[in-house]
Structure 1
Amino acid sequence: MRSRREELGWSQEKVGVLIGIDESSSRARISRYELGTHEPPVKTARQIADALGVPLAYLYCEEDEVAQLLFVLWTLTPSLRHRSVSLWLNQLA
């Protein structure tokens, strides 16, 4: 989440407020989610993903490169996504 939020130039507070967390506690809550101190409920994670414009799975990637790849795939049209995945899978076989 941190890398996409930083790409957008958004503060933790802004993300929190966008998903409906009170401004006074939004920075602390988003910080705890980013650090892994607390796990947001799926509903909250989905709201964060929607606010950041990323797929929900992006928030659960442990490596930035995997998150970036997932984001790129997600931004493709369905037909291009299908062709890309098929091509990659064929090359792995």
Structure 2
Amino acid sequence: MERENPIPKRLKEARQRAKITQKELGIRIGMEESSASGRMNHYEKGRHTPDVSVLQRMAKELNVPLSYFFCESDSLAELNRIMGKMSEEERNSLIKQLSDKEPNM
């Protein structure tokens, strides 16, 4: 069974969290003003998928890690977003804490 592309949903959530319009985001990442809203709408509706370089610019503008767009579940996406704001030291500490609790397999 093929999974649904998570990018449209993640993009819309991140943009709404940033409280900016589709057009504003498009312009901020370098799209022409006349086509920014339409192109962003196509990305959010899943009609077109942005390439990685466009996703990188969106991630930077929306203050989320690039990997956020690819998370299959909401909980993983939220963890990814939160961890993206942490320092490397904080992430390493969290990894150690979680690894210590990980069941042996």
User: Considering the TM-score relative to the shorter chain, is it more than 0.5?
Assistant: yes
User: 2:42 maps to which residue?
Assistant: 32
Residue type at the aligned position of 2:55? A
Residue type at the aligned position of 2:73? E
When the two structures are superposed, what TM-score results if normalisation uses the length of structure 1? 0.88
What is the aligned counterpart of 2:76 among 66, 73, 76?
A: 66
When the two structures are superposed, what TM-score results if normalisation uses the length of structure 2? 0.79
Residue 49 of structure 2 is aligned to residue 47 of structure 1: no
- The structure with the largest helix share of the pair is 1
Residue type at the aligned position of 2:23? E
Deviation at 1:65, TM superposition (A): 2.3
Structure 2: gaps spanning 5 or more residues: 1-10
The higher-RCO structure (CA 8 Å, 6+ apart) is 2
Over the aligned positions, Cα root-mean-square deviation in angstroms equals: 1.3
Larger Rg belongs to: 2
Inter-CA distance 91–35: structure 2 relative to 1 (3 Å threshold): farther
Whole-Å separation in 2 of the counterparts to 1:38 and 1:92: 39
Whole-Å separation in 2 of the counterparts to 1:24 and 1:63: 34
Structure 1: gaps spanning 5 or more residues: none
Q: How many aligned positions are there? A: 93
